[in-house]
Amino acid sequence: MAALPDGIDWITGGSSGIGRALALRLARAGRQVAISARDGDALRAVAAEAAGLPGRLLPLPLDVTDAAACRAAVEQIERAHGPLALAVLNAGTHRALSAATLDLADVRALVELNLMGTVNSLAAALAPMRGRRKGQVAIVASLAGYRGLPTAAGYGMTKAGLINLAEALQPELRALGIKLQLVNPGFVRTPLTDRNPFPMPFLMEPEAAAEAFFRGLASRRFEIVFPRRLGWVLGLLRRLPNRVALAATRRLVPRD
């Protein structure tokens, strides 16, 4: 196990789901964590949950689709609390996408938040880290990025893009002294997954996911996957010949 770097942490998408659970886990470990999301009231409620823990949570409302706001957020964190040590880029959402309609507004919203919101946050976090040649970044993608899955075309497209982004940048950032990790969760019980109308295999509770996430951050692994059993299944699907894989995913097409 490797130690987490000294300094303040930053989590985007920190008001609910995995982001909230990880923020609280880091606070239990004595970390100081800036948590960002668009809903300031929700962030303050999460920060209040950390009262009495060894660390503390600092609400920092932010819309990650605004690149200038992301840069200002990192500057504010460093000015008030010191060097940014760990950035967990977790903000994202899901919208089901049907081939029958292919709603362009939904696709654009997914790209702006899941993909460009992560890139905006990444660029902001890397700016001071490159100067110090030190820091750690975790990009949260998804196991849905391994293979195209029916109704997840837009979501999976953005998450596959994040997987490619992390794989492409890791060698360069490592040479600069910055640790980059890719996080691929499966199904975790969150407000988003609560809306899913289908069975979710190996569904994890947020606290269990946060523990797996925390241990992964403190490891030397590039890719952090949880739950592992679903990772094995979708990893196999990723490697199957297209003829076989597409025959399998065809069974997932919703029936009218």
Active-site positions?
Answer: 155
Report the C-alpha gap between 188 and 169 in whole angstroms: 27
In the structure encoding, which two tokens stand for residue 146, read together? 């391994």
DSSP string for the chain: -PPPPSSEEEEESTTSHHHHHHHHHHHHTT-EEEEE-S-HHHHHHHHHHTTTSSSEEEE----TT-HHHHHHHHHHHHHHH--EEEEEE---------TTT--HHHHHHHIIIIIIHHHHHHHHHHHHHHHHT-EEEEEE--GGGSS--TT-HHHHHHHHHHHHHHHHHHHHHHHTTEEEEEEEE--B-STTGGG--S--TT-B-HHHHHHHHHHHHTSS-SEEEESHHHHHHHHHHHHS-HHHHHHHHGGGSPP-
Report the C-alpha gap between 164 and 150 in whole angstroms: 21
The Cα angle at residue 47 between residues 228 and 94, in degrees rounded to 5: 45
Q: Are strands 8-12 and 223-226 parallel, antiparallel or unpaired?
A: unpaired
